[in-house]
Structure 1
Amino acid sequence: MALRGLSAVAVTASIRPPGPRFRVDSGTSRIPSSGCRISVRCKAVGESRQGSLEETVVYEGIYGPWTIDDSDVREVILYRSGLVTAAASFVVAGSAAFFPDTLKQNVDLLYVLGSGGLGLSLLLIHIYVSEIKRALQALWGLGVVGSATTYFCLAQPANKNLIQYVVDNPSAVWLVGPLFAALTGLVFKEGLCYAKLEAGLLTFVIPILLLGHLTGLMDDGVKLTLLASWMTLFVIFAGRKFTQPIKDDIGDKSVFMFNSLPGDERKALLEKLEQQKIQN
């Protein structure tokens, strides 16, 4: 997302209690306390807009007002597209469990596409605590390395595709599991932030299925039921992402703007906001 002019905006922005957003019908909005002009064309999918195409929606954040720009919209659309890619690839590949005579030659390619889609979403996901985001990305990386190792060193010599090898050798979950742990973390975040039922259920279905397969404590019928539930919930989850306003996946942009500031500018901003609190 574009951070041009961030320092000037952040350090002089006036703080107000979080409240409903307001619209500015002109192409630009002026923040009274700073005199800084912000001009953004809002093209957010799912945002209801009336009047001029140039109108800008201004949101009140913890560290000051913020708006949605074109780069924000692109990031959110790519984030959601990554989830759709991951869901579609997983569902088609997972269908091989119910129709074993189909897709035998293509499941590895689908696994790669799905992993790539998940990786794109983890790259673009907005999480306030950067350490959590990096942890999810690290899990994804471990899962990709483990999956590649399993495929080239174990599955190929046995003349099997990756998924079939993991099905026949439950211990391989240790190698591919981190990839799905990253997915579990993503859906947990979505369920926690937006109270999405399907995301909350996926948070439990994914690890239960993988652990049941790893430990051998789950029969095939239960595993197939959980797999079908996973496939259904994943499709619903990915599809419903496009029904949300763009701003939902951005979060409070002022927090990310604040975190990107150098240390001295953060301190100056906090002092400025504290003075304004006292004055008000």
Structure 2
Amino acid sequence: MWYQVTLYRGGLVTSALSFIAAASTAFLPDNSIAKALLQQNLDTLYALGAGSLGLSLVLIHIYVTPIKRTLQILWALGLLGSLATSLNLAQPAGEGLVEYVIDNPVAVWFVGPLFASLTGLVFKEGLCYGKLEAAALTFVIPTLLLGHLTGLMDDNTKLGLLGVWMALFVVFASRKFTQPIKDDIGDKSVFMFNAKSEEEKAVILRQREE
């Protein structure tokens, strides 16, 4: 199980680093070589981040299977939406996917489910482990996307939220390296106990009392 946890965390960290690298272009100087290099690879970073997130959602430990499947379906819908937007809208307009979504807020409808799955994942991390940065991301991610989609948020506010998202993601990714492996394996004993018959439960409780 430890290798699955390692892959799960590796996917999260890779996804976070990909996002941070791509988002940093909004803050780097226009004449920066780093900015030019990153801008040329925004879609590659997006694909790497999306793929890494998908890996983590396959390996994520959630007891309630329907919730896990919902997050995976949202991710798949977001991936399909991203591909459709890239092929049918961005490329004909001579733009990359990320650039197109920035210039055309309505495209958030197509890529949004992928970020919804990310929001669900960080919500789970915040709820299960009491991580404040994960809980904050649960609000920052949809707020920024909805602000961009609706046009109700000015550019300075969006940049501020983007910076907060990046900072929280750095903390979130860093703390996965210090978290005990057992945390992401989980304890299914309660669910196994509840699945037993009343007679079996009585026997187990009696044995524990003895």
TM-score (normalised: structure 1): 0.69
Instruction: Give the 3-state SS of the residue equivalent to 2:177 in structure 1.
Output: helix
Q: Give 4+ residue runs of structure 1 displaced > 3 Å after superposition.
A: 253-256
Partner AA of 1:254 in structure 2: S
2:79 counterpart of 1:144? yes
Match of 1:107 in 2: 42
Match of 2:156 in 1: 221
Instruction: Give the 3-state SS of the residue equivalent to 2:39 in structure 1.
Output: coil
- Structure showing greater Rg: 1
Structure 2 runs not aligned, ≥5 long: none
* Separation in 2, partners of 1:180, 1:158: 24
Match of 1:42 in 2: none
Match of 1:275 in 2: 203
Q: Quick check: 1:89–1:113 contact (8 Å CA) kept in 2?
A: yes
Shift of 1:254: 3.2
Partner AA of 1:206 in structure 2: I
Match of 1:171 in 2: 106
* Separation in 1, partners of 2:181, 2:67: 22
Select the structure that is richer in helix. Answer: 2
Structure 1 runs not aligned, ≥5 long: 1-71, 260-265
Shift of 1:210: 0.2
2:127 counterpart of 1:127? no
Match of 1:21 in 2: none
* Separation in 2, partners of 1:253, 1:147: 36
2:160 counterpart of 1:233? no
Q: Quick check: 1:128–1:255 contact (8 Å CA) kept in 2?
A: no
Distance 1:255 1:121, change over 3 A: farther
Of 24, 37, 59, 1:95 maps to 24
2:117 counterpart of 1:182? yes
Instruction: Give the 3-state SS of the residue equivalent to 1:242 in structure 2.
Output: coil
TM-score (normalised: structure 2): 0.90
Of 70, 73, 88, 2:2 maps to 73
* Separation in 2, partners of 1:220, 1:189: 30
Instruction: Give the 3-state SS of the residue equivalent to 1:208 in structure 2.
Output: helix
Shift of 1:97: 1.9
Shift of 1:131: 0.4
Shift of 1:267: 4.1
Count of equivalent residues: 201
The superposition leaves residues 133-191 of structure 1 with CA deviations (integer Å, 9 ceiling, x where unpaired) of: 00000000000000001111111111111111001100000000000000000000000
Partner AA of 1:174 in structure 2: W
Partner AA of 1:76 in structure 2: V
